Structure 1
Amino acid sequence: MLLCAAGPGVPARAGAPAAEPDSRAIGIQLLEAPVARHDDPRALRYIVDHLPPGSTIKRKISVVNHSAERRRLDLYAAGADVADGKFRFAEGRTANELSGWITLDEGSVTLDPQESARFTATVRVPREASAGERYGVVWASTVPARDTSANVNIVHRVGVRVYLDVGPGGEPPSDFTIGDVVPARDGGGRPSVDVAVHNTGGRALDMGGSATLSDGPGGVRAGPFDVVQGTTLAAGEAGSVRVLFPAELADGPWRIALDLESGKVRRSASGTITFPEPGQAGTRTPLFDRLARSWWLRGGSLAVAAAAIAGVALLVRRLRRRRRAVVGPAVHRGRQVAASSTGSDIRK
């Protein structure tokens, strides 16, 4: 079952959020996603799925002509891969295994200014396909009217990424950890942080999120500031994400709270940083999982409370023992007197 991923509007360029119409560009947008992934932002933007060998899926895609001239848009699938922290597009129409599984019901469309059209991409996974994640792109490209005064002709190209995992059973889990943070300032004095991230799951991740600064000089708080887009990590790959801050930001120290995400997977961490002089990198600082830290603090409080309760209980037990030690002999003597009196009555 499929879910409409977006209603009417301006289609987004692949790999970028929805934008205002660009008179020089074309746009593309995925229109549907599986109902099971309706709450996954990546699946509403890209074709993200897990399929067993022999399966087939279809996805509707929309393209629009933002320019002021009539244009022909060529539609095709091409290869891609994920390496060195990037989603890398193959040159031109270079194919790979996944793009060979993708067919489009239209090879091209001709659109008037601001006109849009829809087409369907079909992905057929061969029965003999091996397990693993594969990457590709469904492209729309156009060549503007040739400028006879120019030696180079520009090709506008936009696309929808495809992340397809193949294998029996359920989908591999997605997860990541947050490592150290390195604050820095560039030559112009603009501060930034680079945050280490490790993909510990079985699917590629497109990293996003934000950072918030607090407890700065004078108690100042700043943010949140968005993570710079563009980091994609393959399964098992380690890399980093960057956050840029305003140049006028004080050196600190600051408490930094990071909220990173890829689709439905979200992780948080925090620590303390100080920005260095312009053109310098600061001290590498470990970050701590905010949830784990919260549980640690709660656990510490509970441990203190438990220790206090145990101490009170021990004190009560000791007092009771002392009381029994004092009262016991007196009670025993009282019983002896009562027994003697009773015996005397019997003898009478």
Structure 2
Amino acid sequence: MIQRRITVSNFDEVPRDVEVFAAASAIVGGEFLPDDDNPNEMLGWITIDQPVVHLPAQHATDVLVTIAIPADAPEGEQYATVWAQISSPKATGINTASRAGIRIYLSVGAGNGPPADFAIQSLSASRTADRVPQVHAVVINTGGRAIDVYGTVSLTGGPGRTSAGPFDTPTATTILPGQTETVTISLDAGLSVGPWGSTVALTSGLIARDETATLTFPDADQNPQSPADATPWWVPASIGVVAALVAVGCVLYVARFRKRRARDERWTRV
């Protein structure tokens, strides 16, 4: 049995009734996402001592979450979220809800299972369509449990021995065991092309890994043309037709000139 206490807070100036419940989650494309349409077995193992909490304005309280894992539970990882939700009915009859949650990663197995671990495979640089430079770190989960990876990138040794950063990841990237995901960090749009010495430092819990590389960002002026800026198809075709007509005209002119010259020479001999 696993028991944890979570704190539910009301930061509003009015009292609130807060629903506390568990719902299934999934890891998709490096994100930990709600998966309400596909409940898993773990939802039947979770109980919450206060499914509805009445909170006065600017107050908080603790809620006890219990996970009772049965003896015949299947091995493997399951994911869920404990949500605290406030519903607000509208005059139009449409209900809106605001919620915040705490993730649950549950690994069931005969033993503790392989420890969590990851490695940074490579670093690369790019620039977005609106000219923002980015650093991409390809990360593989080499352990036995899902991990949330986040961190920073720092630049040194740029033009004029300049440095920049650290720049933070906007959100954590969630990676399943054995899977590979790309962690992307956006930098300041005003950074020069480089080359730069880059250091990416990533963490997941107590695990920390870093990787260095020399990176050069694409020149912002060398972005591929947009369709609106591209030359219409008929322009090169028209140029080709005009060139062909000019060539034919030159050939006809030369032929007429030679014919007239030969005629003039014949009359001169007579």
TM-score grouping bracket, smaller chain normalisation: 0.7 to 0.9
Corresponding residue SS for 1:218: helix
Alignment of 1:57-206 (within 5 A): 57-91=2-36, 95-144=39-88, 146-148=89-91, 152-206=94-148
Corresponding residue SS for 1:135: strand
Corresponding residue SS for 2:190: coil
The count of aligned residue pairs is 223
Contact 1:79 1:97 survives alignment (8 Å): no
Tell me how large the CA RMSD over aligned residues is.
Answer: 1.8
Corresponding residue SS for 2:160: helix
Q: Work out the CA distance in 1 between the residues paired with 2:155 and 2:42.
A: 42
Cα gap change, 1:240/1:280 in structure 2, threshold over 3 Å: closer, same or farther? farther
Corresponding residue SS for 1:100: helix
Gaps of 5+ in 2: 225-270
Instruction: Flag as ranges the 4+ runs of structure 1 deviating above 4 A.
Output: none
Corresponding residue SS for 2:36: coil
Residue 185 (structure 2) pairs with residue 268 (structure 1): no
Corresponding residue SS for 1:155: strand
Q: Work out the CA distance in 2 between the residues paired with 1:222 and 1:151.
A: 51
Corresponding residue SS for 2:41: coil
Q: Work out the CA distance in 2 between the residues paired with 1:173 and 1:243.
A: 27
Deviation (angstroms), 1:173: 1.2
Q: Structure 2: which amino acid aligns with 1:85?
A: G
Deviation (angstroms), 1:91: 3.0
Corresponding residue SS for 2:44: helix
Deviation (angstroms), 1:200: 1.0
Contact 1:77 1:95 survives alignment (8 Å): no
Q: Structure 2: which amino acid aligns with 1:214?
A: T
Contact 1:207 1:232 survives alignment (8 Å): yes
Q: Work out the CA distance in 1 between the residues paired with 2:196 and 2:93.
A: 52
Q: State the percentage of identical aligned residues.
A: 36
Deviation (angstroms), 1:216: 0.3
Deviation (angstroms), 1:151: 6.4
Contact 1:99 1:137 survives alignment (8 Å): no
- Counterpart in the other structure of 1:246: 188
Q: Structure 2: which amino acid aligns with 1:133?
A: E
Q: Work out the CA distance in 1 between the residues paired with 2:105 and 2:112.
A: 16
Deviation (angstroms), 1:105: 0.6
Cα gap change, 1:280/1:269 in structure 2, threshold over 3 Å: closer, same or farther? farther
- Counterpart in the other structure of 2:252: none
Post-superposition CA distance 1:30-82 (Å, at most 9, x none) = xxxxxxxxxxxxxxxxxxxxxxxxxx011011101112222110111111122
Post-superposition CA distance 1:196-230 (Å, at most 9, x none) = 11111100010111111000000001111112313
Q: Structure 2: which amino acid aligns with 1:82?
A: I
Deviation (angstroms), 1:181: 2.2
Q: Whose strand proportion is higher, 1 or 2?
A: 2
Q: Work out the CA distance in 2 between the residues paired with 1:59 and 1:267.
A: 29
Q: Work out the CA distance in 2 between the residues paired with 1:193 and 1:224.
A: 12
Q: Structure 2: which amino acid aligns with 1:126?
A: P
Q: Work out the CA distance in 1 between the residues paired with 2:90 and 2:69.
A: 42
Post-superposition CA distance 1:133-184 (Å, at most 9, x none) = 111111111113x332x56432001111001111122342111111222312
- Counterpart in the other structure of 1:221: 163
